[in-house]
Amino acid sequence: MTNQPARAVGDGQLFIDGKFGPSDSGKTVEDINPATELPICQVAWGGESDLDRAVQSARRAFDVGPWPTMPGKERAGVLYRIADGIEAAAEDLALRETLDVGKPITFTRGFDVRAAAEIFRYYAGMVEQLEGAARPAGARSLQYTRREPLGVVGAITPFNFPLNLAVNKIAPALAAGNTVVHKPAEQTPLTALKLAEIMAEAGLPEGVHNVVTGDGATVGAAFSVHPGIDKISFTGSTATGKRLIAAAAGTLKRVTVELGGKGANLIFDDADLEAAVQSAFQAAFFNTGQFCMSGSRLLVHRSVHDEVVDRLAAVAESVPIGDPLDEATVLGPLAHRAQLDKVIEYVGIGLAEGAELRSGGSTGHEGPGFYHQPTIFTGVTPEMRVAQEEIFGPILTVLPFDTDEEAVEIANGTPYGLASGLHTQNIRRAHNVAAQLQSGIVWVNTWAQFENSTSFGGYKSSGYGRELGPEGIEEYLQYKTVYINVD
Ligand code: ADP
């Protein structure tokens, strides 16, 4: 396999009004492969005027149509064809995602691309089911509700699951009849551009979906204040999310934000320890820990703490790390240099705070690539920064607990509330603890298991709004009541 995806698609270009073309400034930047540190291709560095062109295009496609008023079965037909197109281009998409993010090719094939097609099909199936309701009214009156799209949706996505997080927004937004302007993360724009081509070929009308690549501080920030955007769906850091919400208030646009996490994964003394350890490893280190729903805090009952840590360290020390294009690889590099630097900094912070390094702790690697070993800290106390702050890398902090109450208190003791999990064979404990955990999703005896119907989103500082499931499409609809007096 080469270092290049099918370069023809979108290389150095934006996708606006159904066509690829350069940014107004003509500026491009190198897109870097995190496994080799070599450039993959040039990417257009869009600016505010490019965003404005994209919004105008999406605005026309919404205001003039036909997308929002297209009969449901036709709109669904386009979405089904997009799913088929994703499957037909699966190898190209998987290669792009692997080169851009450093994710192992077995995962981009087996999860990222497969799920993208499935999510389009899931929401295609909902298009014809967006029913309103007849409501009680006076004897000579009729009252009913309509569910209508919002208008132009701005989708802003991060670098860790570029294709999936984009599709989580774009598929339900389109199914509801909206039009979209998407800004992928500056480090990982390649699948967004291929997706644009697939969508156009599937018959999506011009302007319904636009892609503007560029950086967050200029193009991303311009979304919040643009009067032509009706709603922003954002996934990224809590700090950026807060800035975005404040900036969006001026135009009163709707905003949903899926932000950071510091997931707590609880292992009780009655758990199936071998299964719990395997699950805890995946929870912490899947996607090299760059996963807002990661289980980056492992809370273990004191009576099984040492055994769990020993087994976990054995898994961490034997996991295949390396070239993401190699099918044997389980952990690839971090997606970009700043992320690696952040991980290295947090290893130092953990050591300075008095945490004990049980496994990993360095890049473990010579030569190019943003690799870092899976790293396990024990002797961690709940108030330490490594137990409180989202690191977004392969660092797991392990904390012991003695009682269920203490476990819940530690689990809930961060500002975040995106995902949590617990391992127990006691069904009463499972339900009781799940009810007490402050997070948008709780996994029991598993982690990160998803169906298309598995909605997720934040409690507390992890944001608001939900993605996937029936709740996912609600975020892109508004209700209208029609009250008719026939007297
Ligand atoms: P991460 O830590 O995942 O890079 P960010 O929140 O910085 O998190 O970035 C997530 C997405 O938000 C990226 O597409 C980025 O370009 C974009 N972004 C960054 N700053 C802003 C901003 N001020 N307004 C809107 N989007 C932004």
Long-range Cβ contacts of 44-47 (<8 Å, 24+ apart):
44/12, 44/13, 44/14, 44/213, 44/214, 45/213, 45/214, 45/215, 46/14, 46/212, 46/213, 46/214, 46/219, 47/23, 47/214, 47/218, 47/219
Pairing mode of beta strands 141-149, 477-485 = antiparallel
Ligand 1 site, residue 46, Cβ cutoff 6 A: no
Average per-residue pLDDT for the chain: 96
pLDDT beyond 70 at 414: yes
Does residue 114 come out as left (phi exceeding 0), alpha (psi in the -120 to 50 range) or beta? alpha
For residue 359, what is the enclosing H or E element?
Answer: strand 356-359
Ligand 1 site, residue 99, Cβ cutoff 6 A: no
- CA proximity to 413, closest of 395, 426, 401: 401
Helix and strand counts by DSSP (H, E) for the chain? 16, 20
The CATH number assigned to the domain with range 264-451 reads: 3.40.309.10
Q: What radius of gyration do the chain's Cα atoms show?
A: 23
The per-residue pLDDT for 3 is 53
The per-residue pLDDT for 140 is 94
Is residue 206 annotated as a catalytic residue, yes or no?
Answer: no
Query: Which percentage of the chain shows pLDDT scores above 70?
Result: 98
Q: Which two tokens stand for residue 449?
A: 């298991």
Distance between Cα 112 and ligand 1 center (Å): 21
CB 283 within 8 A of CB 295: yes
The tokens 């009576």 sit on which residue? Answer: 303
Output the CA–CA distances (angstroms, integers) from residue 199 to 9, 51, 167, 398, in the order listed.
13, 19, 11, 44
Give the burial class of 8: count Cβ atoms within 10 A of its Cβ; 0-12 exposed, 13-18 middle, 19 or more buried: exposed
Ligand 1 site, residue 216, Cβ cutoff 6 A: yes
pLDDT beyond 90 at 312: yes
- CA proximity to 183, closest of 161, 210, 207: 210
The per-residue pLDDT for 435 is 98
The per-residue pLDDT for 1 is 35
Output the CA–CA distances (angstroms, integers) from residue 484 to 86, 134, 369, 479, in the order listed.
45, 12, 65, 16
pLDDT beyond 70 at 7: no
pLDDT beyond 70 at 174: yes
Is residue 41 annotated as a catalytic residue, yes or no?
Answer: no
> Which atom of ligand 1 has the smallest separation from the CA of 215?
16
pLDDT bracket for residue 6 (50, 70, 90): very low
Average of pLDDT values for 36-44?
95
Ligand 1 site, residue 166, Cβ cutoff 6 A: no
Average of pLDDT values for 423-447?
98
pLDDT beyond 70 at 4: no
- Strand residue runs (E) in 212-253: 231-235
For residue 146, what is the enclosing H or E element?
Answer: strand 141-149
The per-residue pLDDT for 246 is 97
- CA proximity to 223, closest of 404, 58, 78: 58
Q: Which two tokens stand for residue 361?
A: 């702790």
The catalytically annotated residue of 258, 390, 467, 475 is 258
CATH superfamily to which 14-259+462-482 belongs: Aldehyde Dehydrogenase; Chain A, domain 1 (3.40.605.10)
Query: Which percentage of the chain shows pLDDT scores above 90?
Result: 97
Rounded to whole angstroms, the maximal C-alpha distance in the chain is 82
> Which atom of ligand 1 has the smallest separation from the CA of 223?
25
pLDDT beyond 80 at 356: yes
For the stretch 198-220, pLDDT in tens is: 999 999 999 999 999 999 999 99
CA nearest ligand 1 atom 18, residue: 216
CB contact set of 308 (below 8 Å; sequence gap of 6+): 267, 273, 276, 277, 280, 298, 300, 398
The per-residue pLDDT for 5 is 52
What is 401-451 written as a DSSP string? ESSHHHHHHHHT-SS--SEEEEE-S-HHHHHHHHHH--SSEEEES-SS---
- CA proximity to 267, closest of 292, 293, 302: 302
The residue to mutate among 240, 294, 339, having the most atoms of ligand 1 within 8 angstroms of its beta carbon, is: 240
The domain spans of the chain are: 14-259+462-482, 264-451
Neighbours of 81 (CB within 10 A): 18
For the stretch 95-145, pLDDT in tens is: 999 999 999 999 999 999 999 999 999 999 999 999 999 999 999 999 999
> Which atom of ligand 1 has the smallest separation from the CA of 185?
14
Ligand 1 site, residue 340, Cβ cutoff 6 A: no
Ligand 1 site, residue 162, Cβ cutoff 6 A: no
The per-residue pLDDT for 11 is 76
pLDDT bracket for residue 365 (50, 70, 90): confident
Which three-class secondary structure state does DSSP give residue 41?
A: strand
What spatial distance separates the first Cα and last Cα of the chain, rounded to whole Å?
A: 73
For residue 88, what is the enclosing H or E element?
Answer: helix 72-88
Pairing mode of beta strands 39-44, 28-32 = antiparallel
Distance, in Å, from the CA atom of 419 to the CA atom of 441, rounded to the nearest integer, reads 5
For the stretch 451-467, pLDDT in tens is: 999 999 999 999 999 99
> Which atom of ligand 1 has the smallest separation from the CA of 240?
6
